[in-house]
Amino acid sequence: MSKALILLGCTGSIGSQTLDVVRANRDAFHVAGVSARRLSERFLATIQEVKPAAVALESDADAVRLADQFPDLTVFSGPTALQQLAAYDQSAVVVNALSGSIGIEPTLAALSNGCDVALANKETLVAAGPLVMETARLRGANVIPVDSEHVALAQCLSGSALQTVEKLLITASGGPFRGKTPAELRDVTVDQALAHPNWSMGSKITVDSATLMNKGLEILEAHHLFQIPLEQIEAVIHPQSIVHSMVQFCDGSIMAQLGAHDMRIPIHYALFYKHGRKDSQLPRVNLLEIGQLTFEPLDHETFPAVTLAVQCGKMGGTIPAVMNAANEVAAHAFLRGELAYLKIIDMVAAVVESHTPIYRPTLEQILDADRFAREETEKRIRKQVGMH
């Protein structure tokens, strides 16, 4: 019997690649629900292909049009649509492929319903990690990583006691600006920032890869996922993106996970999480063709985002939520041409500095901190570009 799957964010990069994996494993999975922000031709084509029982959309008007076209379809819309879809089928695995802090509430809704969540949404654990992991524990549900780095760590840690772990080593390609100095990055264009050397991703996460904020977010994610102290997690530059992460153990050995830079590989692993490894037709790595794997220290002066993220993680409370939301707004402002590349992390740091943290926050307090950060960042950007 095939496993039900609810896919949040089916038209984005991770969502589309998840559907590729499902297509290749039709006997193992059926798609019970999908969501998209708007009613696009792509979303309609997905509905016609996978024939879900339920969907979620942002706009009520879009929902009415869709319900007219597919009268047997359950259609959720409005501010709680994602939560309703995430909790629609208690037997389903929920794949959260959303971008941004919009992913927090549906993750909690799914876990509260006892569903396992395959999580590609970094922001959920960065902003609300303790709350999410506690909800999963109380409901007996699993938070399954989808990011290539965390899937790699999960495989390297498999069967090992946490007290034997000395360090988690999260690899980073270095993005398009590896080896550059701050002076060389003064006039960076959007096109340059989006020209990632190895991975094909959405625009916001590609900007995060250029600033290396994505590595900061991944360190905080790993801290929550694997219950490893932040002091024992480190980012390492690895330009080839073949080693996806490593674990250094107390006996001096290091275990690494290698694979092609294709997101369908970690997605495939995440979907088959409880069933062991399954055959796939996904790309293989030929080490003889690659010939050389290199590693470099991270340049914290040129890429201060990692240091900032770890500091925010150590402060805890609502601080990581503020950092995450400020970064989201600042990255989009850069994409719109309203903020210089080198000002992205400066802006995030300034907004974090302006926030009075709340410790052991409730979900509502986390969401309030998120709203504060967005409004404060937008206000500072408008002031900077002279928009009143």
3-145 classified as CATH 3.40.50.720: yes
- Element at 309 (helix H, strand E): helix 305-315
- Alpha-carbon gap, residue 336 to 341, rounded angstroms: 11
Query: Residue 299 has which token pair?
Result: 């340049």
pLDDT at 274: 77
Residue 200 pLDDT greater than 90, yes or no: no
- Alpha-carbon gap, residue 388 to 375, rounded angstroms: 14
Residue 221 pLDDT greater than 70, yes or no: yes
Q: What is the pLDDT of residues 306-319, one digit of tens each?
A: 999 999 999 999 99
CA atoms within 13 A on the CB side of 105: 15
Q: What is the pLDDT of residues 111-147, one digit of tens each?
A: 999 999 999 999 899 999 999 999 999 999 999 999 9
Residue 388 pLDDT greater than 60, yes or no: no
**Residues annotated in the binding site, as ranges?**
11-14, 38, 121-123, 147-149, 173, 196, 202, 209, 214-215, 218
Beta strands in 127-282 (DSSP E): 143-145, 165-172, 233-237, 243-249, 254-258
**Residues annotated in the binding site for Mn(2+), as ranges?**
147, 149, 218
In this structure, which CATH number among 3.40.50.1100, 1.10.1740.10, 3.30.70.260, 1.10.3720.10 belongs to the domain 159-259+299-384?
A: 1.10.1740.10
C-alpha torsion 39→41→44→45, nearest 10: -160
The domain locations on the chain are 3-145, 159-259+299-384
Average pLDDT in the 272-301 region? 92
Q: Do domains 3-145 and 159-259+299-384 have the same CATH topology?
A: no
Q: In terms of pLDDT, which residue wins out, 330 or 201?
A: 330
- Alpha-carbon gap, residue 349 to 315, rounded angstroms: 13
| Residue 277 φ/ψ, nearest 5 degrees | -75, 140
Closest CA to 163 of 58, 254, 250: 250
- Alpha-carbon gap, residue 128 to 323, rounded angstroms: 12
pTM, whole model, 2 decimals? Answer: 0.94
* Residue type, position 120, single letter: A
- Alpha-carbon gap, residue 172 to 174, rounded angstroms: 5
- Alpha-carbon gap, residue 233 to 246, rounded angstroms: 10
pLDDT at 276: 78
**Residues annotated in the binding site for NADPH, as ranges?**
11-14, 38, 121, 123, 202
**Residues annotated in the binding site for 1-deoxy-D-xylulose 5-phosphate, as ranges?**
122, 148-149, 173, 196, 209, 214-215, 218
Distances (CA, A) of 140 to 2, 114, 134, 310: 22, 7, 10, 29
Q: What is the pLDDT of residues 224-283, one digit of tens each?
A: 999 999 999 999 999 999 999 999 999 999 999 999 989 999 999 999 987 878 999 999
